[in-house]
Amino acid sequence: MSPEARLAELGIELPAPPLLPFTPRLRRLLVHDGIGYLSGNGDITRCGRVGDDVDLERAREAARATAHLMCRTLREELGSLDRVERWLKVLVLVRSAPGFGEQPAVANGFSEAIVELWGEDAGLCARSAIGVAELPGGLAVEVEAAVAIR
């Protein structure tokens, strides 16, 4: 089943990307030689420090919401999610409290959302999840990615 068909079947509505006042106008997606590079994205409704004022489940939800934001960007820029042949690489940045070491568990929220739409063959990809001291606007999670484009 195609990602667009799966999205409709699951009844998932993709959110509009936020317009952030501190972000200059930039490309959210750059395509070069069949690879789409997605700029860092994050869910502005879930901000805070994971392991402090944001618990693991809320951080996973932020990662999942970020996957849907990125899908919206892909659809707007490419015309259809079906043009994404496979996910290649994902970097998940988690704004972490000292001692919090469950960044991969946070990243699972993102990966699960992508696999839900593309399946394991095209959705599972190389992935890194790291903790950082700060993210723009106080985001709890920020994600950047690379995808293969048809």
Where are the strands (E) in the chain, listed by range?
A: 29-32, 35-41, 84-95, 126-132, 141-149
Question: Residue 27's pLDDT is what?
Answer: 73
Name residues whose C-beta falls within 8 Å of residue 76's C-beta, 6 or more positions apart in sequence: none
Question: Residue 115's pLDDT is what?
Answer: 98
Q: Which tokens go with 45?
A: 């409704």
Greater confidence (13 vs 131) lies with 131
Q: For 52-86, how does the pLDDT look when each residue is reduced to its tens digit (9 = 90+)?
A: 999 999 999 999 999 999 999 999 999 999 999 99
Say how many C-beta atoms besides its own lie within 10 A of residue 35's C-beta: 13
Give me the mean pLDDT over the 34-58 stretch.
95
Q: For 95-123, how does the pLDDT look when each residue is reduced to its tens digit (9 = 90+)?
A: 999 999 999 999 999 999 999 999 999 99
Cα–Cα distance for residue pair 51/94, rounded to 1 Å: 10
Q: Give the domain ranges of the chain.
A: 3-10+27-149
Confirm whether pTM is higher than 0.85: yes
Check whether domain 3-10+27-149 has CATH 3.30.1330.40, yes or no: yes
Question: Residue 53's pLDDT is what?
Answer: 95
